[in-house]
Amino acid sequence: MAYFGPVPPPIPWDSRFQWTQPRRPSQPAVAESISNLMFKNAVYYPNYRVYRGETPASMNYNCISHVFYAFAHLSPDGGIFLSDEWADAQMEVDGSRAGCLGSFTRLKRQHQHLQLIISIGGGGASQNFASVAASAATRDNFGRSAKGLVDASGFDGIDIDWEYPNDVEQGRNFLALLAAIRLHLPDDRYLLTAALPAGQWALQNIDLYKAQDYLDFINLMAYDFAGPWSPTSGHHAQLFPGSAGEPSGSTAVEYVISTGFRAQKILLGVPVYGRSFLGATGPGQAYSGTAGEDGTFEYKDLPRPGTEEIIDRRVVAAFCTGGDGGFVTYDNPETVKVKAGYCREKRLGGLFYWTGTANAPPGPRSLVSEGFKALHNA
Query: Residue 368: is its pLDDT beyond 80?
Result: yes
Neighbours of 7 (CB within 10 A): 9
Task: Give the residue, 294 or 326, on which the prediction is more confident.
Answer: 326
Q: Is residue 163 among the annotated active site residues?
A: yes
pLDDT tens digits for range 54-79:
999 999 999 999 999 999 999 999 99
CA atoms of 102 and 16, how far apart (whole Å)? 7
Q: What is the mean pLDDT of the chain?
A: 91
Number of H helices, E strands in the chain: 11, 15
State how far the alpha carbon of 52 is from the alpha carbons of 92, 123, 144, 242, 293, in Å. 14, 21, 33, 37, 16
> Which whole number is the average pLDDT over 111-137?
97
Sequence ranges of the domains in the chain = 3-271+332-375
Q: Is 56 exposed, middle or buried (0-12, 13-18, 19+ CB in 10 A)?
A: buried
Beta bridge partners of 68: 44, 117
Catalytic member of 54, 85, 163, 246: 163
CA atoms of 240 and 286, how far apart (whole Å)? 22
Query: Residue 231: is its pLDDT beyond 60?
Result: yes
Is residue 70 within 8 Å of 120, Cβ to Cβ?
no
Res 294: pLDDT: 75
CATH topology of domain 3-271+332-375: TIM Barrel (3.20.20)
Q: Is 127 helix (H, G, I), strand (E, B) or coil?
A: coil
> Which whole number is the average pLDDT over 356-376?
97
Res 4: pLDDT: 53
Percent of the chain with pLDDT over 90: 87
Is residue 152 within 8 Å of 17, Cβ to Cβ?
yes
pLDDT tens digits for range 303-315:
999 999 999 999 9
pLDDT tens digits for range 174-218:
999 999 999 999 999 999 999 999 999 999 999 999 999 999 999
CA atoms of 41 and 194, how far apart (whole Å)? 16
